[in-house]
Amino acid sequence: MKKNGFRRNTWLFAGFLLLGGLMHYFDPTENLFLNSFLFTGRFAVFTGLVLFWIRSVRSRLLPTRVRTYMTAAGVMMVCLLAVQVFSNRIAGDAVGAAALNRWSKYVYWVPQTVNPALFLMAAVRIRRGAEDGKGWDERLLLIPAALLSLAVITNDLHYLVYRPKADYPDLAIVTGRYSQGAVFYLLYAWIILAIAAGLVLLFRETGRRPAGGIVLLAGAVACWLFMLAMNLLVWDWLHVHQPYSTQEINIFGMLGIFEICIRNRLIPGNENHIGFFEQLGLPVLITDKRLSPVYRAGRALNASEDELRASLKHPVYPEEDIRLSGMAIRAGYAFWTGDESELHRENRRLESANEILGEENDLIRVENELKEKNARLDAQNRVYDRIAETLLPRQRRIAKLLDSNEPDTEAFRRALGECCVLNAWCKRKSNLLLLDESVLPKRNRELFLALQESARFLKCCGVEAAAVGEELADFPLSDIHELYDTFEAVIEAWLPSMSRMTVSLLDDGIRLAADTAQAMPLPETILPVEERNSDGNVFLTIRRRKGGKPA
């Protein structure tokens, strides 16, 4: 389908080119309306052919520098046709319109000078290849074209292109009224040399390809030169009106050379979609805007027109595992399908694996929660075991005191008071054992509260006791335990002889002041106790450890 459409476009292009030539051949008629119609029609046909070719180049070629140069050359060709119309039909050769005539001729040279530079730039790039990163030196070829164009535009300042003859001081570019200057011949030399250099490069590059390509290129060049020779040497000799002007021959001759380069695949293109789709191996359908099929590859697409239209917006599944996709392309739509059966099978396997993993993750989560609970219970049990182990001697002593004395006796009352003191220690000791060093504030009241409660229950034993002074201390928890245990051991040993006692916190320990009936020996304690007597009062100082040793 692509090859048939390509041939059809080629024959249509050739047909319209021939039609434009016939319009030019029959252009000089006595009927002014017909004359204007043929001239305008010829301009429209030739301009339309160049624009059609530019559009086809943009769709057939990849976006390379060659395509840019060729597109720019096509634009210059359209400008040349437009200036030719203006110069021949609007400016004319009227002497009264000398300035308009002169400037139209000047502008007429600009595309004629720039186009050979673009042709040579395209040939250099084709010779180098699209992958070659160099390009700045190609653009240097625009410098001579720009300088020559500037020389023509500024001819009124120097007359190096066109020189008015003495009889016609008001320069109008009309045969017989001017002579050519040196730059005029440089313009023709530049045009011939640039085109010739470009053809040499193209012949060398085409020579490295299959032999058929160089034959086509040589044929196109021969046709170009033949038409120029007919224009310059034959038609005037035969007194026959030319079917094409010299500039029109140059325009379509250059287009022919570019087209041969494209068909010889000297320029990266994107036309081999049939081979691409065949190698791809996917079912592909290309349609026009009305969804009429113009190309099929692979097996047929079993989809309705509604499904095709829907696939342009989102993927459609005409069959369970077949995904239909579509997109808009130039002058139509492309549709293709993909078999997702393997993907769906893998997804189902993945879902099954995810379910199993989810169940295992739930089991692991429950197991971790149980382990965490067991760890907390084990930690609590260790704390409780430590508390029980620490309090057990006092609790046994309390039980022994209560069992060894008869109720409603003085001895039982004294034993009950001592039990209250021991219970106060057990309560505060268990509270201290439940504390954690990490949550204990740096300055805390824990030791003062324990001393205060023990002092309050000493009253049950007839001892006037009180905790006084500063309540806050910055002792760590280990020091609090040792200070409180040492304090408890001292008051238990001195309880029978004490009548009054005060306790207070020091910066590095505890100080006790007590009234005793007789001196009592100090018990074995965790921390050493300093004893000092003054006026019948006993002062005891318990200092905490520093650096692991008692202060």
Question: Tokens 């001895």, residue?
Answer: 411
Strand partners, 295: 286
Q: What integer pLDDT is reported at residue 254 of this predicted model?
A: 92
Cβ atoms of 472 and 444 closer than 8 Å = yes
pTM of the model: 0.53
Cβ atoms of 39 and 92 closer than 8 Å = no
Residues 6+ apart with CB under 8 A from 285: 293, 295, 296, 297, 301, 334, 335, 336
Of 501, 500, 450, 502, residue with least CA distance to 475: 450
H or E segment and range at residue 510: strand 509-516
Instruction: Tell me the two tokens of residue 513.
Output: 């002041």
3-state secondary structure of 65: helix
For strands 549-550 and 545-546, give the pairing: antiparallel
The span from the CA of 139 to the CA of 205, in Å, is: 20
The span from the CA of 84 to the CA of 107, in Å, is: 10
For strands 464-468 and 498-506, give the pairing: parallel
Residues 6+ apart with CB under 8 A from 259: 53, 220
Which domains, and CATH codes, for the chain? 2-271 (1.20.1070.10), 274-339 (3.40.1840), 439-550 (3.30.565.10)
In residues, how long is the chain? Answer: 551
Residues 6+ apart with CB under 8 A from 152: 106, 109, 110, 113, 161, 183, 187
Q: What integer pLDDT is reported at residue 465 of this predicted model?
A: 87
Q: What integer pLDDT is reported at residue 189 of this predicted model?
A: 95
Q: Residues 321-329: contacts with CB within 8 Å, 24+ apart?
A: 329/286
Going residue by residue through the chain, which has 551 residues, state the pLDDT in tens, using 9 for 90 and above: 445 556 788 888 888 888 888 887 777 676 777 777 888 888 899 899 999 999 888 877 777 788 889 999 999 999 988 888 877 766 654 445 667 777 888 888 999 999 999 999 999 988 887 656 665 678 889 999 999 999 999 988 888 988 887 666 566 666 667 778 899 999 999 999 999 999 999 998 888 877 778 888 899 899 999 988 888 888 777 777 778 888 888 999 999 999 888 888 887 765 555 556 666 667 788 777 778 777 777 666 778 888 888 888 888 888 777 888 888 875 578 888 877 777 777 788 888 888 888 888 888 888 888 888 887 777 777 777 777 777 777 778 777 777 777 777 777 777 777 788 888 888 877 877 777 777 788 888 888 888 888 888 888 888 888 888 888 888 888 888 888 888 888 888 888 888 888 999 888 889 988 888 777 788 888 888 888 887 768 888 988 876 545 55
Q: What integer pLDDT is reported at residue 99 of this predicted model?
A: 73
Strand partners, 513: 502, 539
Q: What integer pLDDT is reported at residue 1 of this predicted model?
A: 40
3-state secondary structure 129-163: CCCCCCCHHHHCCHHHHHHHHHHHHCHHHHCCCEE
